[in-house]
Structure 1
Amino acid sequence: MFAEAIMYHSYALSIVEHVKLREMLSYLQPKVRHVTRNTILRYCLLEHERLKSFLRECLSELNSRVCFTCDCWSACTSRGFLTLTAHFVDNNWNLKSRFLNFRYFPPPRRGVDISLFVVGLIKEWGLETKVFSMTCDNAGAMDVMVRRLKSDLHSFRPLPLNGRFFHVRCCAHILNLIVQSGMNVIDDSVLKVRGAVNYIAGSDSRLCVFDKCVADSQCNFIGKLRIDCPTRWNSTYLMLKRVIEAKEALILFGTIDLSFDYVLTDEEWKIVEYVCNFLEPFDCITKLFSGSDYPTANLYFPYILAIEKLLVLGHNHKVPSIQDMASAMLVKFEKYWSDYSIVLGIAILLDPRYKNVMIRSALGRLYISGEVERRVKEIREAFIELYNFYDTSPSSSLPPRENGKKQSSDGFGVNSLFEVRFFPFDFLFTFQFTILTYINNFFVRLLGFRNM
């Protein structure tokens, strides 16, 4: 139980040797045998092996394929680490995400080296024949890694459609690149805010004066000002948000401290508010794309459409600084739009709320009608091809057909399903689902089953 507590709460192993903790344990049970950090380490490793064996057994019984996420990370000591995460739907149709490895990755860290390292990790878990896709960032080494990895995994067992959908670029990372390009042309008013926050946070005496200004101005600001990190755009958004909440206090601080050279004019405050409001939707969408407890592929088209709309509105904004930011972000947006995998379009087809209508609507706002039809046809053909791949796969979990005969195309095959469930039945299905939800909630309240 001590080992489980250490692993669950991320305690240091040395906690078992703390004097006061040992005194408390001896008080609770005088016959207790105290252990050293080396002993508790062995217990932690045994528990780790037990959990690892349990996860390996679950993965071995898995009927579906597995999608992987690979990420390279450098600690403050410049030591490199590699994380491998598995995403899959278990045999009970529950979405699961499991960290498989967090390993030290020594140099060199070229694409070929990363590929060999990842292949070894996948084989260690016995998943080399169940791979569907690999999601990673847009670093050049990762592109090389994906090409080499696809070739190696294809030799173990053919990937779906020869690995056509193997490489999926990280939506959150691309969104970060888009916003970072806009932050490079940020307005001088935002730089002035950054200087004001650094000035106040750089001295305890100035912090005390600022706290007094917050109390005297009676503003709704609670907490502290945030210092942003230039490499993380969302920290700049959070800094602006906190500064706007403390606007009255900052104005009062500027009248008290004569050395404060970062007093903003009314026009500059308006620009700061415009920039903050412009960045807020991107922060919300980033959080949605980064979620791990719910499916995110079906969010792709609606929110990409929302991003495109925000950039177009910003491009036509009355404030020049917003126009400059949106223009720089539009260039990056157009660069990465064509790089997305069409497998995310297939996810929209499988979502009964969207299906083909959403794809046509989203693409129609970005391309001319001829290009829209070509891309819709491409997604449709890929969907049918992928369905047929799973339908004929030896590992398919679908029940066998009688007499080994294939279903007629006149029945409920993939082609008829694809056509029938399109407009206008998409909206009819959503309407029926909404009505049934309201009816269910009504009877729940009527019969008093709310707490059951």
Structure 2
Amino acid sequence: MEEELGEFEDFEVVDESASNATRRFRCTTSSVWTEFDKYKDGSGKERAKCKRCDHNYLAGGSGTQHASNRRLHAYLNRDVKFISRNTAKSIVGKMYQREKESLKHALELIPSKICLTSDLWSSITSDEYMVLTAHYVDENWVLQKKILSFSNVPPPRSGAILADRLISLLKEWGIEKKIFTITLDNASYNDTLVANLKKHPSFGPCLPCNDKVVHNIRESVKYVRGSDARKLRFVECLQELPFTTSKKVCQDMPTRWNSTYTMLETSLKHRSAFLHLSMIDPYYNTCPSEEEWNIAEKIARFLEPFFHITTLFSGSYYPTANLYFHSVWRIQVRILKELESEDQVIQAMAKVMKEKFGKYWDCYSVVLSFAIILDPRYKLQFVEFCYERLYGNEAAVSRAKILRDKLYVIFKGYLQHSTGNSRTMAQMSSCGTPVCDIRDDLEGFDIVTSRLVGPSTSKSQLDIYLEESRLNHREHENLNVLGFWKEQCHRFPELSLMARDILKALLCSRDWLFGVPDAQDEDERLVEDLENLCISQSDAHMDDE
């Protein structure tokens, strides 16, 4: 049997052209060729003849085809099977995916947080590669280090682009909610990278409202709204429902929780339609389970009062400050109630919201709290009622008294300012009077006490207002408080001025962007109208057929 000289191959055959049969040999530099003579046999194959023993060998081919190599492999493993390069590539790829899924599952199960390190590596060809390494303690309290990614980063390599790449890798591994620290080098672009990470919802403060549930619903809405064909298919699913709803499924913005509530609320109304869609559409694979729908329902029910209060604050051009105290009190009562909830998800959400509430609202704004007292439907009694629900009877009385005393101090300032203005006006009007001055005729009249009427009351305008009966809050639910004080300006001139200034205090520093129609909201409504028009035309076309 002829043997092949593959391991000594030192040349290659190159076709000059399709019509040219001449071949060019690479220079043979190996010392072995001093012992062989090359020639072509009758079939045109390259062969080599040993100068010492006249034995013939094939001069072409690869080393893996050499008989001695095959005998060596067979000796090491009798069942060896030779595979091609593409097969080996496929096997390595499948092995990588299998190990990746195994590591991904392990990272999902570990109870501890994950620390990350990331850096850019440069090759000799100046290509940049981002390496992302995870450091964590496993269930056996052993520190582990795993390289999650080593991927090429084409230019430009700005901090914003690297942040997007990093976030996409974390989402790919499903660990964006388990990150404890990220360690980077001191490159200048990392400052921008860190700033972008801090702005992202995955790294900012958020409600622990079972992210998987919200994610599945969000992806379901995205899928349905992704194309006209899916919208039509979803409409067909809606037609299978025993009831009809005019609300469309809304996609949320993850950074605005009130839009997330709207998404949950509309999706829950289409719950059965999503389930039906999952049965007829093999590509729709993010339909929430029955348990996840139940959790979403609890989350929506918890967020509903906050959504309505936010709408109340920001749903008009000029919301008066009397909305403040009552609404914030309702939020605090709701949070305290849900802290005792048996549902762990709701309880965790309430804890986070309580921390936020304590940071911004725990010390009720004194000036804005005055507004509820100047609302004739509530007055000071409502403040006592609210404080008693929160802090108990004794604390309620003391807190309400502090608020009342401060209100009187403010009112005293308005009285003094009003008196000064009256004197100034009198002096200005007296400058052009004739020689006859009637002031001397009325000197002392202001301090005269009538023997028939009796002494004048010493009660101030604020005293009289607080002692008068409150308006029924149910009968005057839509009372215009500013309009009320406009009508009372003759009875309570200084008090009405103070009420006007306090009630006009804005509840936020922005110019009521939610109350004024936003251009983006208008665009969304136009898109929704266009979608409805397309669906209506498709339905009409189906009816004609």
Give TM-score scaled by structure 1 length.
Answer: 0.49
- By relative contact order (CA 8 Å, sep 6+), the higher-ranking structure is 1
Larger Rg: 2
Give TM-score scaled by structure 2 length.
Answer: 0.41
More helix by share: 1
